[in-house]
């Protein structure tokens, strides 16, 4: 086994450190950097939804062609999850992120010079491949920088930034388009990713042991202490390959993937059909839709933080990882599904919106335990494990708008909600009885 980097505290940091110094807070700066990256990913992937009408008119695209342009991102995104997650485990998060973030930012900007459907499909496909590595690589980074007792809340914070992006992109992108034209949405959003890469290069290191601003007290918080009082050592290794056979033969791995499929299926309605549902079925004005479509996403932001805080608090209090993850995720998925029933049946648009807002709030409670589990069961292969989970979830999510659209085309606006409620009930059962955050999927 070849070692890419051996862990040690920089000599200058140790020599100058006062033994009684309070812990530094550098890991929270790392969390801010990663959270901003999450926000940029969703800005880049959703900006096209605002530019789409102008692009369709200029390039003479029909709805089917536009749907293909939207879908190609998600298929490429699913395809890139496992290889890029594995690459992060082998090479370290810093190098991988410094490759993929400028790459997808460049492709975001290149979207502005597309000449038609063929070039749009190519650009969105390459963009999806590059962005596929973002969350698995970030998961590996957080696994290296945060202890188990903080893994829930850090995922809650990062994903709340992504929901915040979806909520604010319409306001930002419309302002840009009105002032400068639709192409500048892609130029400016792409520039944000390039700027982030520069800041990340100077401020981030793969291991807290390498960072000059991390003192011994903070390192002890991150790594914990061995029985003799020494800080538990950690090394970042370069592996020839992840243990693929063990991972794919692990029943726990597939339970984790299935649980995330249920979660992702449930959320994707809000990313795709929700505004159309409010406009065409609930007969709200375009202005009202522009405001109300953000309510579930804002509630989801709160749910991300609450879910992460709860699972960490339960773990610190009980020391039982399985209980801490399940007690948040399973009831939340059940509550989310239950809220969809009155949303579908009511004749009141306002009651429907409130129920859907509550549904997404409960569903977003799940995301912190869901993304903490690959860190719990994957260890140094957490990038690979989270890639497997996110690939499965992305494939499931790609079915959600297709099923919803096919049913709506036949006049069935209520049926999709009952289907989603059934999917979420299945997810709650999977979390209750099958997912085990204490059982490794990569071996002993």
pLDDT tens for 160-187 read 999 899 888 888 888 898 899 999 999 9
- Considering the domain architecture, whether residues 224 and 273 belong to the same structural domain is answered as no
Instruction: Give pLDDT, residue 444.
Output: 60
- Considering the domain architecture, whether residues 172 and 315 belong to the same structural domain is answered as no
- Considering the domain architecture, whether residues 304 and 406 belong to the same structural domain is answered as yes
pLDDT in tens, 317-351: 999 999 999 999 999 999 999 999 999 999 999 99
- Considering the domain architecture, whether residues 268 and 154 belong to the same structural domain is answered as no
pLDDT at 315 over 90: yes
Model pTM score: 0.82
Q: How many residues does the chain have?
A: 444
Instruction: Give pLDDT, residue 423.
Output: 97
Give residue 343's Cα distance to chain centre: 26
Instruction: Give pLDDT, residue 224.
Output: 77
On whether the CB atoms of residues 338 and 280 are closer than 8 A, the answer is no
Helix ranges, 319-366 (H): 321-345, 349-364
- Considering the domain architecture, whether residues 165 and 269 belong to the same structural domain is answered as no
Instruction: Give pLDDT, residue 239.
Output: 57
Alpha-carbon span 383 to 257, nearest angstrom: 14
- Considering the domain architecture, whether residues 278 and 405 belong to the same structural domain is answered as yes
Instruction: Give pLDDT, residue 10.
Output: 45
Identify the H or E element spanning 293: none
Sorting pLDDT into bands at 50, 70 and 90, what band is 297? Answer: confident
Lowest mean pLDDT among 55-64, 149-158, 221-230, 409-418: 221-230
Alpha-carbon span 348 to 246, nearest angstrom: 51
Instruction: Give pLDDT, residue 132.
Output: 93
Instruction: List C-alpha distances in Å: 313 to 110, 310, 320, 327, 372.
Output: 44, 5, 11, 11, 14
Instruction: List C-alpha distances in Å: 189 to 37, 80, 114, 161, 403.
Output: 12, 22, 16, 15, 31
Sorting pLDDT into bands at 50, 70 and 90, what band is 63? Answer: low
pLDDT at 38 over 90: yes
Give residue 138's Cα distance to chain centre: 9
- Considering the domain architecture, whether residues 125 and 248 belong to the same structural domain is answered as no
Domain boundary among 206, 221, 240: 240
Mean pLDDT over 49-64 rounds to 80
Instruction: Give pLDDT, residue 52.
Output: 79
Instruction: Give pLDDT, residue 238.
Output: 55
Domain boundary among 240, 273, 305: 240
Instruction: Give pLDDT, residue 4.
Output: 39
- Considering the domain architecture, whether residues 329 and 355 belong to the same structural domain is answered as yes
Domain boundary among 207, 240, 273: 240
Could you tell me which residues are beta bridge partners of residue 217?
A: none
Q: Give the sign of the dihedral formed by CA 149, CA 372, CA 439, CA 227.
A: negative
Could you tell me which residues are beta bridge partners of residue 3?
A: 237
- Considering the domain architecture, whether residues 182 and 77 belong to the same structural domain is answered as yes
Residue 389 belongs to domain with CATH number:
1.20.1250.20
| 238 phi, psi to nearest 5 deg | -100, 115
Lowest mean pLDDT among 121-125, 230-234, 236-240, 435-439: 236-240
- Considering the domain architecture, whether residues 190 and 94 belong to the same structural domain is answered as yes
Give residue 218's Cα distance to chain centre: 27
Could you tell me which residues are beta bridge partners of residue 431?
A: none
Mean pLDDT over 371-396 rounds to 91
Sorting pLDDT into bands at 50, 70 and 90, what band is 29? Answer: very high
Instruction: Give pLDDT, residue 188.
Output: 96
What is the rounded average pLDDT for all residues in the chain? 87
Quickly count helices (H) and strands (E) in the chain. Answer: 19, 2
Q: Please tell me the number of Cα atoms within 13 Å of 85 on its side-chain side.
A: 29
Could you tell me which residues are beta bridge partners of residue 238?
A: 2
Lowest mean pLDDT among 100-114, 137-151, 239-253, 361-375: 239-253
User: What does the angle CA 392 – CA 370 – CA 382 come to, to the nearest 5 degrees?
Assistant: 75
Alpha-carbon span 225 to 299, nearest angstrom: 38
Q: Give the sign of the dihedral formed by CA 167, CA 395, CA 425, CA 306.
A: negative
Give residue 195's Cα distance to chain centre: 21
- Considering the domain architecture, whether residues 369 and 236 belong to the same structural domain is answered as no
Alpha-carbon span 180 to 271, nearest angstrom: 26
Instruction: Give pLDDT, residue 317.
Output: 94
Number of domains in the chain: 2
Instruction: Give pLDDT, residue 274.
Output: 82
Q: Give the number of other Cβ atoms within 10 Å of residue 428's Cβ.
A: 23
Alpha-carbon span 441 to 444, nearest angstrom: 8
b/e map 79-101, b = 16+ CB within 10 Å: bbbbebbbbbbbbbbbebbebbb
3-class secondary structure, 90: helix
pLDDT > 90 in the chain, percent: 57
- Considering the domain architecture, whether residues 154 and 277 belong to the same structural domain is answered as no
Coarse DSSP helix, strand, coil percentages of the chain, rounded to the nearest 5 percent: 80, 0, 20
Domain of 309, in residue numbers: 242-444
């Amino acid at each position: 086994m070849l070692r890419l980097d051996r862990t040690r505290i920089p000599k200058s940091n140790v020599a100058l450190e006062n033994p009684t110094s309070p812990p530094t807070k550098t890991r929270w700066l790392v969390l801010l950097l990663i959270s901003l990256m999450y926000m940029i990913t969703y800005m880049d992937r959703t900006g096209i939804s605002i530019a789409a009408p102008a692009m369709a008119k200029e390039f003479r695209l029909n709805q089917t062609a536009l749907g293909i342009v939207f879908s190609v991102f998600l298929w490429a995104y699913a395809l890139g999850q496992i290889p890029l997650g594995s690459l992060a485990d082998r090479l370290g998060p810093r190098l991988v992120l410094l490759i993929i973030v400028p790459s997808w930012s460049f492709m975001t900007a290149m979207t502005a010079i597309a000449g038609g459907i063929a070039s749009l499909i190519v650009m969105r496909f390459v963009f999806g491949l590059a962005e596929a590595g973002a969350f698995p690589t970030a998961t590996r980074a957080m696994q290296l920088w945060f202890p188990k007792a903080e893994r829930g809340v850090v995922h809650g914070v990062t994903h709340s930034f992504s929901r915040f992006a979806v909520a604010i992109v319409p306001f930002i992108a419309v302002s840009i388009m009105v002032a400068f034209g639709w192409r500048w949405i892609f130029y400016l959003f792409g520039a944000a990713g390039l700027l982030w890469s520069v800041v990340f290069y100077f401020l981030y290191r793969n291991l807290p042991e390498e960072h000059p601003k991390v003192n011994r007290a903070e390192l002890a918080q991150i790594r914990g202490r061995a029985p003799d009082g020494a800080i538990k050592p950690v090394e970042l290794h370069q592996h020839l390959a992840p243990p693929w056979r063990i991972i794919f033969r692990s029943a726990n791995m597939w339970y984790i993937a299935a649980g995330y499929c249920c979660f992702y299926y449930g959320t994707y309605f809000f990313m795709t059909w929700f505004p159309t549902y409010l406009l065409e079925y609930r007969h709200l004005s375009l202005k009202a839709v522009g405001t109300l479509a953000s309510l579930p996403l804002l509630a989801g932001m709160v749910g991300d933080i609450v879910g992460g805080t709860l699972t960490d608090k339960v773990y610190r209090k009980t020391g039982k990882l399985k209980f801490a993850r399940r007690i948040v995720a399973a009831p939340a998925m059940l509550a989310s599904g239950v809220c969809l029933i009155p949303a579908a049946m009511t004749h009141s648009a306002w009651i429907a919106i409130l129920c859907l807002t509550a549904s997404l709030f409960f569903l977003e409670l799940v995301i912190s335990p869901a993304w903490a589990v690959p860190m719990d069961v994957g260890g140094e292969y957490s990038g690979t494990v989270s890639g497997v989970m996110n690939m499965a979830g992305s494939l499931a999510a790609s079915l959600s708008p297709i099923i919803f659209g096919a049913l709506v085309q036949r006049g069935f606006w209520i049926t999709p909600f009952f289907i989603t409620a059934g999917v979420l009930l299945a997810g709650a059962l999977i979390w209750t009885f099958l997912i085990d955050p204490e059982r490794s999927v990569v071996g002993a």
